[in-house]
Amino acid sequence: MYEEAGNSNLLMLLNTAVYPFLVAAIITLIGKFSARLSILGVAAGFLVALSLIHTGLSFPPSKALDFLTISVILGVTISLVREFKLGVKTRNTISFIGLLVSFYLLLNPVLQHQSQLLSMAWASISAALVMLMFGLQKSTAAPDHSQASMASLAIISAATAPVVSIGGSLLIGQLLGGFAASVVGFVLVQRFVCKQPSSNALLLGSFILAGLLAQAHVLADLPLSVMLSAYLAVSVNILSNLRIKEDGKVSTTIIALIPQILVSGVIAGISLWSVWPESSLY
């Protein structure tokens, strides 16, 4: 019995952390030849985690979690399109529409039982919130600290994973862990091997993280306040970026991320208490 439990834990670790990290790191090396295509590392790492964790994954999608593949494809496509010489309004409009479609597909399989209007309202509000936070991150992050902005998504995801796993869905919790591992692999290669900014993957990361948190609320019935506070922790990184700009001091990525780690940890601790099951887990 104990041997089976140990094997199960090892397999979960491999699927949730090791394989996504390795795939993301290896694919991100494309950035040595094409900086634009380096975001495929995040996409590939997460898709590997999705296929290993959500064993019933199908394409074309049939279940709510299957539509995460569409979110990744949309995120990659729109992130690449934003690299073209387009006006700010055009880029933001395209990004908003992409997020709107992504959220609608992710949430509609459940919300459609209530009304299509509710699905569209959820998708619109969620897309607007993500665009707001993405815009603030993008505008405040200096090129030298773009890794911190991307890494903040990994911190939030990793901190929220145990909350979601215990509070409602082990599957979505594992996917959050897989996303965090993919981002870490991407950021490390970008910083130490390719030595390029990581800001080009921010929108893709926003597609995936926000989609997972929204599904954790709608599919796993976790409190909206818990998921919203987890996502809004991005504002800590935004404030850190502003402070670095104002002070004009050179700061390492680790130091810049300390406030994000502390605040996300506190939010996760409080959230964990609020969702902890009344009956024993065992």
Confidence of residue 145 (pLDDT cuts 50, 70, 90): low
pLDDT category at 2 given cuts 50, 70, 90 is: very low
Tokens of 275: 């969702």
Across 243-265, average pLDDT: 72
Contact 141, 151 (CB under 8 A): no
With b for 16 or more beta-carbon neighbours within 10 A and e for fewer, the 139-161 pattern comes to: ebbeeebbbbbbbbbbbbbbbbb
Model confidence pLDDT, tens digit, residues 193-228:
887 777 788 899 988 999 999 989 888 888 888 888
Cβ contact 210:181 at 8 Å: no
Integer Cα distance of 92 and 98 in angstroms: 10
pLDDT at 246: 59
To which residue do tokens 């964790």 refer?
Answer: 53
Burial 260-270 (b: 16+ CB within 10 A, else e): bbebbeebbee
Q: CB-based contacts of 105: which residues, under 8 Å, 6+ apart?
A: 61, 67, 70, 71
The pLDDT score that the predictor gives to residue 247 is: 57
Helix (H) or strand (E) holding 255: helix 253-275
Task: Find out whether the peptide bond into 259 is cis, omega within 30 degrees of 0.
Answer: no
pLDDT at 59 over 70: yes
**pLDDT exceeding 70 applies to what percent of the chain?**
90
pTM summary value: 0.89
